[in-house]
Amino acid sequence: MTELAFGSSTPLGQPLLLGIVEGSVYGLIALGLVLLYKSNRIFNFAQAEFGTIAALTAYFGYNGKLFGIPWHMPWLVAVTVGIVLGTLSAVLTERLVIRPLFQQPKVILVVGTVGVLLAAIAVENLVVSATEPAYLPSVTETGLKDPAFRAGFAQYNVSWEQVVTLIVLVVLALAAVAFFRYSRQGTAILAVSQEPTAAATVGISTSRVSLLTWTLAGFLGSVAGIVALAGSPVLVPGIMTGTALVGGITAAVLGGVTSMPGAFVGGMLVGLVHQFTASYFSFPGAQNVAVGLVLLLVLLALPKGLLGSET
């Protein structure tokens, strides 16, 4: 069995697998951030919190407490409702906050997303009981899938849940890239991001493009929240912002803030650095130090990121 130095007995493959799965979540958050940067030229600090909203909604629906009504939805239905509500929160953000401020300096829009984040966490704290921890079961705990199947492969084990999670995130990432390359709506978003005046001249509605991009970003953030928090014992208000937002922003900058493939590549890199650092270094803050160093090195060598064309 291959082992690295620094006195660790952790197999090489285990942090590799966990890093890829964790990095997929960061990549999905980064995809939403890049999508909004391409269309609105802002960073959305509420992006990860759409995932918390989705996971908490799914929890309430599954456990029969959504809006005080004893739903007790099947797991898949509850998750679908959570993703819909998480996406809807992004739509409301665009309509109620971004749209009225659209003509203001970009920094005002960024501050607006911070306000949305703080408001969302405040509402979550009102509806989540501090004495009753929220817990959304994973797919392997609900009967929808066989219990954790483990197959020895090189130095690590693979569970079906990890495989399914990775497949879902990769498919969504590829779909996002294909959307921009081959769909009329994706082309419209790119046109508005590059030449908004010219795009409006040829009949492309900037307001419609803005709504579409926020809807897609909300969907991506919601799915990231579900796959990251299903089965997690720490489903609390603000959890996705606290655990995934910095990783998502780092991934977007590493990959290049205008590159959809770069966002996912950056997410994978952040996840791998996190897991390998946690496995082979034990001092406090080692993961953050390692990610920060990687980010600085990439930006010093490639200021536009790994795959970015312009910022």
Helix (H) / strand (E) containing 190: helix 184-194
Position 90 pLDDT exceeds 90: yes
Q: Which residue has the tokens 């908004």?
A: 196
Helix pair 260-280, 286-301: axis angle to 10 deg: 140
pLDDT for res 307: 77
Q: How many CB atoms lie within 10 A of CB 11?
A: 18
When pLDDT is cut at 50, 70 and 90, the band that residue 68 belongs to is low
Q: Which residue has the tokens 């219990």?
A: 147
Residue 244 lies in a domain: yes
Position 192 pLDDT exceeds 50: yes
Query: 69 has which bridge partners?
Result: 66
When pLDDT is cut at 50, 70 and 90, the band that residue 172 belongs to is confident
pTM metric for this prediction: 0.86
In this structure, what DSSP letter does residue 12 have?
A: S
Residue 203 lies in a domain: yes
- Across 44-58, 92-106, 143-157, least confident range: 143-157
pLDDT for res 45: 96
Residue 152 lies in a domain: yes
Helix (H) / strand (E) containing 268: helix 260-280
Residue 102 lies in a domain: yes
Over residues 5-48, the pLDDT tens digits come to 333 445 566 788 888 888 989 999 999 999 898 888 889 999 99
When pLDDT is cut at 50, 70 and 90, the band that residue 309 belongs to is low
Q: How many CB atoms lie within 10 A of CB 22?
A: 24
pLDDT for res 5: 34
Domain of residue 212, residue span:
13-301
Residues 6+ positions from 28 with CB-CB distance below 8 Å: 169, 172, 173, 220, 221, 223, 224, 227, 248, 264, 267
- Which of 225, 227, 243 has its CA nearest to residue 85? 225
Residue 241 lies in a domain: yes
CA distance 8 to 11: 8
Q: How many CB atoms lie within 10 A of CB 105?
A: 9
CATH number at 260 reads 1.10.3470
Mean pLDDT of 289-297: 86
Q: Are strands 156-159 and 150-153 parallel, antiparallel or unpaired?
A: antiparallel
Residue 269 lies in a domain: yes
Over residues 144-168, the pLDDT tens digits come to 565 555 555 554 566 677 777 778 8
Residue 6 lies in a domain: no
Position 297 pLDDT exceeds 60: yes
CA distance 168 to 50: 18
Q: Which residue has the tokens 């942090």?
A: 15
Mean pLDDT of 84-112: 94
Mean pLDDT of 248-274: 89
Q: How would you class 126 by CB atoms within 10 Å of its CB: exposed for 0-12, middle for 13-18, buried for 19 or more?
A: exposed
Q: How many CB atoms lie within 10 A of CB 100?
A: 10
Q: What percent of the chain has pLDDT over 70?
A: 82
Report how many domains make up the chain. Answer: 1
CA distance 258 to 171: 20
pLDDT for res 215: 94
pLDDT for res 197: 63
**What average pLDDT is seen over the chain?**
82
Q: How many CB atoms lie within 10 A of CB 6?
A: 10
Residue 306 lies in a domain: no
Rg of the chain taking only CA atoms, in angstroms: 20
Would you say 33 and 47 are in contact if contact means Cβ atoms under 8 Å apart? yes
pLDDT for res 53: 96
Position 218 pLDDT exceeds 90: yes
Position 311 pLDDT exceeds 70: no
> CA neighbours within 13 Å on the CB side: how many for 21?
17
